[in-house]
A and B are shown apart, each in its own frame.
Chain A
Amino acid sequence: MTALWSLNEIEALARKAARGAGFEWGLTEEAGQAVRWLEARGLPGAKALEFALNAGVLGDASRCAISLGCAICDGAVTPVSLSSRDVIAPLLLLPFASWWSEQHKQSLTLSWPDGAIDIEGACFAIGPAGVTVPPRADIAFIDRKARGLTQVNVGFRAQVDCETYVALSAFAQRTYAPSTEASRLSGAGAGLSDND
């Protein structure tokens, strides 16, 4: 079963979930943006993030799509240098590759054993086999010439599996401090009546 969410809701959930899984704040911001970017384009970004967080990739930035995506965008690594790498939730690399491609005006193909996506800046095209969301896969990036991909439709709703939503919410829950009497009293307006 799926439900519809606003993109802001999904981005905020993704950010909090990544934080709950132990990601540094700066990386959670990219995680939120990446999931939002994918969901706005009808791709299962939230599902991919669920894979990434379940895999507990924190200790291993070299296989984490969020960390690798950031490194690509920061220019610390090139996409092609990541080829043949075993990556958790490789779909999450797509937004970063798109941002890199836009900035460097270089077209790419991102592929894993049963999926391939051509990327030209903000445009991308999924191969005939359709998109799969493997929990992990050996990926390849190759540089290639632009072939004039058409603009991708960008929407404003995220259709997310309820199970994924619940799983991400459980990670997000870890970012909330348990309530204590002291915390209740330190809240805004706490202990004051509002019947005037």
Chain B
Amino acid sequence: MEKQQLRKVKLRRPEVVMRLERMGSFHQSRLSFMRVLLRRLKSERWRFETRVFDIDRNGVGVAVYCAHSPTRSYSLIAFANDLPAEKRSDRVIATEWDATFTLFDGIPEASDIDRLSKNIPRQEAGRVTQKELSVSRANRSARLWDYVVECLAKGTQPDLGTVTDVGYLMRTTAVYGSGKLGAADREATCARDEFLAPFQIEMLTVYLIRAFVMDLVEHMARMRAPATAVSLEGPLRRCFGIGNSTGLGMAPFLINHPILLNNWIGAREEALARVRSVASVDHDTAQRFVSFVRRARKSAGFSRSNHEIQTLKSVRLCSDLDALLDFLSGFDFHAIRPWDRLWVWAETALSSEGQEQLVSLLFEPYPALVDGLSDCMSADEAPQMRIDGAMTLARLRSILEDFFGWALAIDWTVGASQARVWYVSEEKLEPRLGERADGDLNDYEQPLGPGRDAALLYAALLLRDDAETLGSFLMQHPEHRHIARRAQIAARYPYAEIRDNTIAADMLPIDLLRAKLSFFGACHFDPRSDRWVRVNMFQNAPFPQDLAFEDADDWTLPALDGPVQ
């Protein structure tokens, strides 16, 4: 199908979409990478097996979970540990974890498991090879783990409210792919169909981790009390996702990968424009949509966060969804292009929280219009990094005016405009955000303030001849090379640049985290500060062995007649 036929309304403008506050309001959708993965596992009828489960009564040992695609096999190798409580830290600086994992390319031999047993539990201190696709680790939720083991050992089911209050038994603190610690480079596997969409290796890793963690908790209960222990009942079992806590390490990613960011946002905006372009809507589709809105409202009413920012966002989301349901009760679905009319209403009636939730909800009834766009979300960035040195400085200046106009309007001499410094700490090599006023950080600043850099380039260009080429300018001014490249990319990729100041005093890193995590498909954002957030992954998703019999793509919002999540 031609794009032109699918889309009658225009894409939203980058100036509207690429704002931090709005990106920090994104929700998971049909285009989220977890959902893309499960749709594929189901449609290709992947098979799953637990090949090894050798774990003692203290919870120490190894397990191997295999996933067989029609053409290949992948294996999660899990090393379980008995970690004393005082060693349990969420942060990159930890050195031991409750469980560590790798996704192996194929089915491991005993010698592979032996080699990996000496490396995976050490995480950053270990090395892996091209046979390993990811490296990850997780800690138990101390809140929930002991309680669930105890209940099951006694032969009772844990209380639903207590379970959903936390939502996971283990929380990953890192899922590394793309060549980290010696693992296979993304380029080595990205041509495989199953890894065409972004982050599929990482998502498959987490999905199999979830299956392992549920088996482990039941195993621990059985080891404790073989005579009385029971397994978790099906619906309750599905209420457990895998937690993830993510800090500043993830924040620079979207700034460092402008073309990838463009492709993610571009796919989402294309999908929105396609749905808004739908000419007419039948009764069933309209009812299905309303049902998704009700489910989203139910989910929104159950925000657990204690953080002020998120509490406010949740309140706003609830009132937005109430307003949406109210509006829908009198809405004429028979009019021409009803979704576009609904959208135009939402643009003024709802906050960005509600609008961005509506984007995701509008996708739900339209798999045929939306799902295929996930194929356009990865990016081969390297060839696009070349600078067009023949461009005149006049042209570059006009690009800066068009794409960085917002940055040229900022008074960069005011301290608050560049109050923050992104840098990497010596201690654990993780990205950090410091205050410029504290001094001593300027020399270590990472290039993560494109707005400021664009303004500096623009000022330099004003002193040069319009007809001069960029190549000649950069020979004398290599300090502008980085931002000149970004500017040329921005001119080709409309959603590549965030239209906000990423070094401003009031910038919130969690906006960047939420944007990225929503594309992963994470739910239940629970910020612990303005730079650290917890989420839940795959909660309520069918387990691998259930995929063949169940809908693989209807689990992200609670059922209207089921538990809240």
Determine if chain A interacts with chain B.
Answer: yes
Interface readout for B78-115 with A: 1 if CB under 8 Å, 0 if not?
Answer: 00000001001111000000000000000000000000
- A70 to B470, alpha carbons, bound, how many Å? 12
A165 part of interface (Cβ distance < 8 Å): no
Determine the chain B residues whose CB is within 8 A of the CB of A195 once the complex forms.
85, 88, 142
Q: Are B532 and A24 in contact (CB under 8 A)?
A: no
Partner of B482, one of A4, A9, A29, A103: A29
Q: Are B91 and A71 in contact (CB under 8 A)?
A: no
Q: Are B478 and A156 in contact (CB under 8 A)?
A: no
Chain A positions near chain B (C-beta within 8 angstroms):
4-9, 23-27, 29, 33, 61, 67, 70-71, 73-77, 99, 103, 156-157, 173, 175-179, 182-184, 186-190, 192, 194-196
Partner of B433, one of A23, A24, A186, A194: A186
B385 shortest CB reach to chain A, Å:
7
Q: Which of A70, A157, A189, A194 has the most CB of B within 10 A?
A: A189
Determine the chain B residues whose CB is within 8 A of the CB of A7 once the complex forms.
179, 185, 187
Q: Are B90 and A194 in contact (CB under 8 A)?
A: yes
Determine the chain A residues whose CB is within 8 A of the CB of B61 once the complex forms.
none
B42 shortest CB reach to chain A, Å:
30
Q: Which of A8, A29, A179 has the most CB of B within 10 A?
A: A8
Determine the chain A residues whose CB is within 8 A of the CB of B85 once the complex forms.
195
Q: Are A24 and B478 in contact (CB under 8 A)?
A: yes
- A17 to B178, alpha carbons, bound, how many Å? 20
Partner of A75, one of B390, B447, B478, B528: B390
Q: Are A8 and B482 in contact (CB under 8 A)?
A: no
Q: Are A8 and B178 in contact (CB under 8 A)?
A: yes
Q: Are A76 and B247 in contact (CB under 8 A)?
A: no
Q: Are A188 and B247 in contact (CB under 8 A)?
A: yes
Top 8 A-B residue pairs of the complex, sorted by shortest distance between their CB atoms: A188-B247, A26-B481, A74-B389, A6-B179, A8-B179, A74-B471, A76-B471, A194-B90
Determine the chain A residues whose CB is within 8 A of the CB of B528 once the complex forms.
189, 192
Determine the chain A residues whose CB is within 8 A of the CB of B162 once the complex forms.
none
Partner of B432, one of A9, A156, A157, A183: A183
Q: Are A188 and B426 in contact (CB under 8 A)?
A: no
Determine the chain A residues whose CB is within 8 A of the CB of B129 once the complex forms.
4
- A77 to B430, alpha carbons, bound, how many Å? 39
B169 shortest CB reach to chain A, Å:
13
Q: Are A177 and B444 in contact (CB under 8 A)?
A: yes
Determine the chain B residues whose CB is within 8 A of the CB of A188 once the complex forms.
91, 246-249, 430, 509, 529, 531-532
- A67 to B477, alpha carbons, bound, how many Å? 11
How many residues of B are in contact with the other chain, CB < 8 A?
Answer: 67
Residue of A nearest to B86 (CB): A195
Q: Which of A6, A24, A67 has the most CB of B within 10 A?
A: A6
Determine the chain A residues whose CB is within 8 A of the CB of B139 once the complex forms.
194
Determine the chain A residues whose CB is within 8 A of the CB of B478 once the complex forms.
23-24, 26-27, 61, 67, 70
B382 part of interface (Cβ distance < 8 Å): yes
A-B contact pairs, 30 of them (CB 8 A): A6-B130, A6-B179, A6-B180, A8-B185, A9-B179, A26-B481, A70-B481, A73-B387, A75-B471, A76-B389, A76-B469, A76-B471, A156-B130, A156-B185, A156-B188, A157-B130, A175-B424, A177-B423, A177-B424, A177-B425, A186-B433, A187-B91, A187-B425, A188-B509, A188-B529, A189-B245, A192-B90, A195-B85, A196-B141, A196-B143
Q: Are A176 and B389 in contact (CB under 8 A)?
A: no
- A29 to B446, alpha carbons, bound, how many Å? 13
B386 part of interface (Cβ distance < 8 Å): yes
Q: Known interface pairs A70-B481, A186-B434, A188-B249. Does A75 touch B425 (Cβ–Cβ under 8 Å)?
A: no
Q: Which of B246, B386, B390, B528 has the most CB of A within 10 A?
A: B386
Q: Known interface pairs A26-B481, A74-B471. Does A99 touch B180 (Cβ–Cβ under 8 Å)?
A: no
Determine the chain B residues whose CB is within 8 A of the CB of A190 once the complex forms.
91
B480 part of interface (Cβ distance < 8 Å): yes
- A8 to B182, alpha carbons, bound, how many Å? 9
Q: Are B481 and A25 in contact (CB under 8 A)?
A: yes
Determine the chain A residues whose CB is within 8 A of the CB of B186 once the complex forms.
8
Interface readout for B462-473 with A: 1 if CB under 8 Å, 0 if not?
Answer: 000000011110
8 Å CB interface, B471-506 against A:
471-472, 474-475, 478-485
B260 part of interface (Cβ distance < 8 Å): no
B229 shortest CB reach to chain A, Å:
25
Residue of B nearest to A177 (CB): B444
Q: Are B185 and A6 in contact (CB under 8 A)?
A: yes
Determine the chain B residues whose CB is within 8 A of the CB of A192 once the complex forms.
90, 528-529, 532
Partner of B386, one of A6, A25, A73, A156: A73
A182 shortest CB reach to chain B, Å:
6
Interface readout for B422-461 with A: 1 if CB under 8 Å, 0 if not?
Answer: 0111110110111100101100100100000000000000
- A187 to B186, alpha carbons, bound, how many Å? 28
A196 shortest CB reach to chain B, Å:
5
Residue of A nearest to B477 (CB): A24
Q: Which of B88, B182, B385 has the most CB of A within 10 A?
A: B182
- A70 to B472, alpha carbons, bound, how many Å? 11
B156 shortest CB reach to chain A, Å:
23
- A77 to B129, alpha carbons, bound, how many Å? 41
Q: Are A8 and B180 in contact (CB under 8 A)?
A: yes
Residue of A nearest to B187 (CB): A156
B201 part of interface (Cβ distance < 8 Å): no
B125 shortest CB reach to chain A, Å:
15
B267 part of interface (Cβ distance < 8 Å): no
Determine the chain A residues whose CB is within 8 A of the CB of B182 once the complex forms.
4-6, 9
Partner of A189, one of B91, B179, B425: B91
Determine the chain B residues whose CB is within 8 A of the CB of A76 once the complex forms.
389, 469, 471-472, 474-475
Q: Are A6 and B390 in contact (CB under 8 A)?
A: no
Determine the chain A residues whose CB is within 8 A of the CB of B425 once the complex forms.
176-177, 179, 183-184, 187
Given contacts A26-B481, A176-B426, A195-B142, 11 further A-B pairs with CB under 8 A are A4-B182, A6-B182, A25-B481, A26-B485, A29-B481, A70-B474, A76-B472, A76-B474, A183-B427, A184-B425, A190-B91
Residue of A nearest to B250 (CB): A188
Residue of B nearest to A188 (CB): B247
B324 shortest CB reach to chain A, Å:
34
Residue of A nearest to B178 (CB): A8
B130 shortest CB reach to chain A, Å:
6
B72 shortest CB reach to chain A, Å:
17
A159 shortest CB reach to chain B, Å:
12
A27 shortest CB reach to chain B, Å:
5
- A19 to B247, alpha carbons, bound, how many Å? 25
- A76 to B89, alpha carbons, bound, how many Å? 52
- A4 to B247, alpha carbons, bound, how many Å? 30
A102 shortest CB reach to chain B, Å:
10
